[in-house]
């Protein structure tokens, strides 16, 4: 079965510092996508960053970057220069490339930013 695990229910970081959120997944597929979504109190899921499994280079989007370790089935999110607006629930999600249309989600990590 395909599963996504986020082992940190809550993380806190001082404003302007760096924080890393962890995600592991289990799959027998070789071609898939991984995502980090942010869910603020407005409830809307917002895509933060995505990684295609066949790409060895780690994805980067401004202050957000990932550490993708395919063999270890690990996909962590690093947020640099944390800002108050980064406070939200962060969800890791997975989708098989072609044959499956659904996103499989972790339970989420609540990120608290301390001013």
Partner 1 sequence: DAGVTQSPTHLIKTRGQQVTLRCSPISGHKSVSWYQQVLGQGPQFIFQYYEKEERGRGNFPDRFSARQFPNYSSELNVNALLLGDSALYLCASSPTGQGLVGGYTFGSGTRLTVV
**In the complex with partner 1, which residue's Cβ is closer, 16 or 47?**
47
By CB under 8 A, residue 79 contacts partner 1: no
d(CA 96, CA 66): 19
By CB under 8 A, residue 88 contacts partner 1: no
DSSP designation for 85:
G
User: CB–CB of 93/74 below 8 Å?
Assistant: no
Give least dist CB 97 to partner 1, A: 8
Binding to partner 1 by CB under 8 A, coded x per residue (else -) over 4-43, reads: x----------------------------x-x------xx
Binding to partner 1 by CB under 8 A, coded x per residue (else -) over 41-60, reads: -xxxxxx--x-x--------
d(CA 38, CA 45): 6
Interacting residue ranges for partner 1, rule: CB under 8 A: 4, 33, 35, 42-47, 50, 52, 91, 93, 95, 98, 100-108
């Amino acid at each position: 079965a395909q599963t996504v695990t986020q082992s940190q229910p809550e993380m806190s970081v001082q404003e302007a510092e760096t924080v890393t959120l962890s995600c592991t997944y289990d799959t027998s597929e070789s071609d898939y996508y991984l995502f980090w979504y942010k869910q603020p109190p407005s409830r809307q899921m917002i895509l933060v960053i995505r990684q295609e499994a066949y790409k060895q280079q780690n994805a980067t989007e401004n202050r957000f970057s990932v550490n993708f370790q395919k063999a270890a089935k690990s996909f962590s999110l690093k947020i640099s220069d944390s800002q108050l607006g980064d406070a939200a629930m962060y969800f890791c999600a997975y989708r098989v490339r072609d044959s499956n249309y659904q996103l499989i989600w972790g339970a989420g990590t609540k990120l608290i930013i301390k001013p």
